Amino acid sequence: MKKFFYRLSLLSASLFLAFVTIMLISMIAVRGWSYTEAGKVPPKTAVLLHAVHNNLVPGELKAPSIFANKGSSNFTRTDQMIPVSDGGEIPIRLYQPKAEGPHPVVMYYHGGAFMEGFGSIETHDNIIRALAARTDAIVVAPSYRLAPDNPFPTATQDSYDALKWVHEHAKVLGADPNRLAVAGDSAGGNLATVVAMMARDFNGPNIVAEALLYPLTTFEDQTFVSRDMYSSGYYLLSRGVMERAREAYTPQEEMWHSPYTSPLAAADLSNMPPTLLITAQFDPLRDEGEAYGVKLAESGVPVQAIRYDGVMHGFVSFYEVMDRGGHGLAVTSEYLRQAFNGELDESGGHEQLVYNHDDFQNSWQEELEAYAIGAFLIGKQIQNYIMDEQ
């Protein structure tokens, strides 16, 4: 019996020593990953960038499913086809509250560089689902057709047709046609504000607010510091992808100058809806997004602009594992709720906030999670190496 307990104690000590060793290696590795080509990033940002850059998790802008929180929902999901103006059909996804309506509506346009293989309602379903849960609104996500098979103006027209379809079918959907908002990320942020512009220009449905997450706002050849500084692709969006998107989505140069592809180039931004505009520090689209917010405000549109330091393009998609992503999602949800309740300040002006490193430094849980994920990634890299050698 003494020999058994002795062996058990040795095993326990060995396991503890192995655990401590792995965590120390993880801490050293994560601190090393934190020093990137454009500066130091927070630990959680570092491990996610390392994971994506080394193909240790899918490269889609979606949090790894093993980190997702599960729970009961207060809404239902439906996938269906709707007609569009050229005689075709596109899929849409609807999240509808189980409670009796009518409910406000968020039209959510997913990102993905306007091109096949870069984004869909599936890769962005976590954001779509979360907005439904947090806004108590109907969230409609159109699967607009993509380039290169469908260049401009197909995506914009599909997106606007989806808005009109929801407005026309509001009663059947249990929706309030007077409380419509648009939202989107990256390319979807571009489509969201373009849809709002089209609704204004073509006497379409009234849009009470727009929420734009790190939007692409111009295809024109303009100089932005962020485009040069963060264009390598390490921060989830590269100059190469942006150039491919322009070639595929706007193959003719005159398309680059349309306000429906480059809203930053629009001659008139008056009477656009109140706007929430979120940008990220390590994002090639940061400066053009913030420039768009300034231009909207100069046209009399009330703008709330927020930059999150320490994060990369697409960070809200990682809200399940990044505190800054969770904060950005919470801000977006609250902004939309206030818009639906008529609580936004619509007097005009431009409010620019910056959440910097100090605003999130006290999240010890975030740092411990980063080291734990780092240990997981190191283990996965070792496993991949062993499999490659066999």
Q: What is the pLDDT of residue 361?
A: 55
Q: What is the pLDDT of residue 61?
A: 37
CA nearest to 302, candidates 336, 337, 276, 332: 276
Measure Cα distances from 326 to 121, 162, 235, 332, 368 in Å. 19, 28, 19, 10, 17
The set of residues, in sequence order, having a beta carbon less than 8 Å from that of 223 and lying 6+ positions away, is none
CB contact burial 133-164 (16+ within 10 A = b; e otherwise): bbbbbbbbbbbbbbbeebbbbbbbbbbbbbbb
Query: Cα–Cα–Cα angle for 221, 223, 224, nearest 5°?
Result: 125
Show the tokens assigned to 281: 């520090």
Q: Kindly give the confidence (pLDDT) of every residue in the chain, 390 residues in length, as a single tens digit, with 9 standing for 90 and above.
A: 656 555 656 556 565 555 556 556 666 766 676 677 767 777 778 777 777 777 675 443 344 444 444 445 788 999 999 999 999 999 999 999 999 889 999 999 999 999 999 999 999 999 999 999 999 999 999 999 999 999 999 999 999 999 999 999 999 999 999 999 999 999 999 999 999 999 999 999 999 999 999 999 999 999 999 999 998 988 889 989 999 999 999 999 999 999 999 999 999 999 999 999 999 999 999 999 999 999 999 999 999 999 999 999 999 999 988 889 999 999 999 999 999 999 998 776 777 888 876 666 556 666 777 777 777 667 666 666 566 655
Bridge partners of 138, per DSSP, are: 105
Q: What is the pLDDT of residue 266?
A: 97
CB contact burial 351-387 (16+ within 10 A = b; e otherwise): eeeebeeebbeebeebbebbbebbbbbbeeeeeeeee
Show the tokens assigned to 331: 């801000």
Query: What are the boundaries of each domain within the chain?
Result: 2-58+366-389, 73-359
Q: How far apart are CA 368 and CA 58, in angstroms?
A: 23
The pTM of the full predicted model, rounded to 2 decimals, is 0.87
The set of residues, in sequence order, having a beta carbon less than 8 Å from that of 35 and lying 6+ positions away, is none
Bridge partners of 90, per DSSP, are: 82
Provide the residue count of the chain: 390
Q: How far apart are CA 289 and CA 72, in angstroms?
A: 36
| pLDDT tens track for 133-185 | 999 999 999 999 999 999 999 999 999 999 999 999 999 999 999 999 999 99
Strand positions, DSSP E, the chain: 35-36, 39-40, 75-83, 89-97, 103-109, 138-142, 175-185, 207-213, 275-282, 303-312, 350-355
The set of residues, in sequence order, having a beta carbon less than 8 Å from that of 58 and lying 6+ positions away, is 64
**What is the enclosing helix (H) or strand (E) of 21?**
helix 2-33
Q: What is the pLDDT of residue 226?
A: 96
Show the tokens assigned to 199: 């609704």
Give the catalytic positions in this structure.
186, 283, 313
Q: How far apart are CA 135 and CA 309, in angstroms?
A: 25
- Bridge pairing between strands 275-282 and 207-213: parallel
Burial (CB count within 10 angstroms: exposed 0-12, middle 13-18, buried 19+), residue 334: middle
Q: Which fold has domain 73-359?
A: Rossmann fold (3.40.50)
